[in-house]
Structure formats: structure tokens, C-alpha cells
Amino acid sequence: MAHLLLIEDDVAIRTHLLKALRERGHAVAASHTAMDGLQTALAERPDLVVLDLGLPDLDGRELLRMLRAVSAVPVIVATARDDETGIVQVLDAGADDYLVKPFTAAQLDARIRAVLRRGAERTEPAALVVGGLHIDPGARTATLDGAGLDLTPREFDLLHHLATRAGQVVTKRELLSEVWQVPYGGADKTVDVHLSWLRRKLGETAQQPRYLHTVRGVGIRLSGPA
Ligand code: CA
């Protein structure tokens, strides 16, 4: 079941879709103007918005742009215009999918489920495992041999980035730009300091590494103990 917001000014279409989507188990709120739809979207935080492009007070594309400025809620556009340019425009403006009228409630429901499924995959990235290290990017937690690691946000980002490149040498330049988002030319020292803190939390030293291997003059490699 999803919490949906239907923004549609046509009474017949709105009534039909409200009934059909509720019968399919969704909780559905409805608005018949763009401004009411925008307010409802912000107040009720639906899982997904179904947006008609032809609205009385504002063009649906304009509403889409306003909505996108303040919310990442998935949007399926319902359009009577089957012109390709219009469809490309709404997808560029941030719509997740579209349907050309007339469509059935079953088609809309299938698109809704597909868009929500894609969203769920995006928000639940896979856990990374390197030896006894287990890194959960969704929960932003990491364990070593089953014991939780108490990492600062930066240490977590550093460990996570190295784990996505496990077995490869990652340069400090790359870490600065990917983890610290510092443009080329930042200080390597920052990386060294955080690496030494991370080492301590992993219970190892630069002299006797288990996971964090310094490759002199090149960078750092995360790999499981042999
Ligand atoms: Ca309309």
C-alpha cells in the first residue's frame, strides 16, 4: 500500500481513479488545482504524486518544477498530450514516469508500483563485506567481526568509499575529492589523519595492517586479512 496524491481537475477522471486506486489498497488524497496539490504534497508527504498536466490555475509542468525545488517525491505525469517534445520536457523537469490519456487504473497502478520499487532500490543500497568488515550504507553503520564500530560520519564515509573499491589502491587525491569533496589540490595530511584514526578503531597499526594497506607513494588499499 502506498500513500498517493492525485492532482487532477477532471471530476470524472479523478473520481474514477480515486475509487480504483483505493480498491487496489492505496491511501489516496486528491487535489483539483495545482496550488492545492502543492500544499497537500508538502503537508501530507505522499509516497508518490500522480500529476495531470492540464490544470486550471497553473500548467502541470510549472507545478512539477515548483515541487522538484522542494521535494524529491516520485511523480508520474498523466498527460493528454502525446507529443514527444512535451514528454521529454516533463521527464527532464524531474518526472519519474508518464502515462498518456486515456489509461486504465490498472496501468497506472503498475507504473506506480514500478516507480516505488525503483525508489526502494535506490534508498536501500547493498551492504558491503570485506573480510570481517560489514558496512551498511543505508543505516550508515559498520561492524568488524560482529562488533559495532563507533565511527564519525567522515570516518564512515572514508571506510565506505574504500570498501566500494576493495582490493584496489585508492589515491589520496581521489579520497579528498570523493569523501571530502575538496577539489584537486587539497591537503593529503587530512586524509592521513583520518586514516590513522580509522586504523585505531579497526585495532591495527600502519606497521601491522590487517585491512588498511598503505601503498607508498600511491595511496591506500582496503582488503581483508589474508
Ligand atoms: Ca486536466
For the chain, what are the domain ranges?
Answer: 3-121, 128-222
Which tens digits make up the pLDDT trace of 13-41?
Answer: 999 999 999 999 999 999 999 999 999 99
Distance 9 CA to ligand 1 centre (A): 5
The string of pLDDT tens digits covering residues 145-175 is 999 999 999 999 999 999 999 999 999 988 9
- Write phi, then psi, for 67 (nearest 5 degrees): -65, -45
Q: Global pTM? A: 0.57
Query: What pLDDT is stored for residue 186 in this prediction?
Result: 61
For residue 40, the CA-to-ligand 1 centroid distance in Å is 18
pLDDT at 215 over 70: yes
Compute, in angstroms, the gap from residue 133 CA to the centroid of ligand 1.
54
Report CA-CA distances (Å) from 147 to 49, 136, 141, 143, 162. Answer: 42, 13, 11, 5, 19
Ligand 1 centroid to residue 7 C-alpha, Å: 9
Considering only residues 136 and 187, tell me which one the structure prediction assigns the higher pLDDT.
136
Rounded to the nearest whole angstrom, what is the distance from the C-alpha of residue 119 to the centroid of ligand 1?
A: 27
Across the range 4-18, mean pLDDT stands at: 96
Fold of 128-222: Arc Repressor Mutant, subunit A (1.10.10)
Cα of 114 from ligand 1 centre, angstroms: 24
Q: Average pLDDT in the 116-122 region?
A: 80
Q: Which CATH class is domain 3-121?
A: alpha beta
Residue 83's pLDDT is what? Answer: 75
Cα of 84 vs centre of ligand 1, distance in Å, is: 19
> How many angstroms does the Cα of residue 60 sit away from the middle of ligand 1?
9
Condensed to tens digits (0 to 9), the pLDDT of residues 40-80 reads 999 999 999 999 999 999 998 999 999 988 888 999 999 88
**Tens digits of per-residue pLDDT, 108-118?**
999 999 999 88
Q: What is the pLDDT of residue 119?
A: 80
Report the mean per-residue pLDDT for the chain. 91
**Environment of ion ligand 1 (residues, CB < 5 A):** 9-10, 52, 54
CA dist., res. 47 & res. 34, Å (int): 18
- DSSP H stretches of helix in 72-206: 84-92, 105-123, 153-164, 172-178, 188-201
> 31 alpha carbon to ligand 1 midpoint, in Å?
12
Is the pLDDT at 120 greater than 90? The verdict is: no
The DSSP line for 24-71 is TT-EEEEESSHHHHHHHHHHH--SEEEEESB-SSSBHHHHHHHHHHH-
Q: Burial-class residue 220 by CB neighbours within 10 Å (0-12, 13-18, 19+).
A: buried
Tell which phi-psi region holds residue 28, choosing left (phi > 0), alpha (psi between -120 and 50) or beta.
beta
Query: How many angstroms separate the alpha carbon of residue 22 from the centre of ligand 1?
Result: 21
